[in-house]
């Protein structure tokens, strides 16, 4: 099975090169149904032998945020996560 024949939608792709260590990093977020182990096997066959592959599922994380009186843009964090508690250094 070829990776390109799979039905995935690439949602985001980021790349970074560490010139000092001569390393290339790539993070790709995609959606679609897949067998994670099968996908990892396919990638191991087509990528260089020393490539490190980490596949993680996108899931909501439990987060605790410490906030001061300063204004911060928390909307993204508030929307994407479930909060266990809020801690502040002033009365709310």
| pLDDT tens for each residue of 65-75 | 776 666 556 66
Query: Is 24 within 8 Å of 48 (Cβ atoms)?
Result: no
Q: Is residue 67 part of a domain?
A: yes
Rounded distance between C-alpha atoms, residue 49 and residue 66, angstroms: 43
Q: Same structural domain for residues 69 and 34?
A: no
In a domain, 87, yes or no: yes
Can you name the residues that pair with 67 across neighbouring β-strands? 88
Work out the pLDDT band at 1, boundaries 50, 70, 90: very low
Residue 63's pLDDT is what?
Answer: 72
Flag whether 25 is in a domain: yes
Total structural domains within the chain: 2
Let me know if residue 53 belongs to a domain: no
Q: What is the pTM of this model?
A: 0.53
For residues 42 and 7, membership in a common domain is answered with yes
Domain co-membership, 7 together with 41: yes
Provide the residue range defining the domain that includes 79.
59-92
Average per-residue pLDDT for the chain: 78
Does residue 14 sit in the same domain as residue 41?
yes
């Amino acid at each position: 099975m070829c990776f390109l024949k799979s039905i995935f939608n690439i949602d985001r792709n980021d790349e970074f090169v560490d010139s000092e260590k001569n390393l290339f990093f790539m993070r790709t977020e995609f959606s679609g149904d897949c067998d994670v182990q099968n996908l990892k096997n396919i990638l191991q066959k087509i990528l260089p032998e020393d490539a490190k592959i980490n596949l993680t599922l996108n899931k909501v994380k439990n987060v605790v945020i410490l906030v001061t009186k300063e204004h911060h843009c928390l909307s993204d964090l508030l929307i994407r996560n479930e909060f266990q508690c809020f801690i502040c250094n002033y009365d709310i």
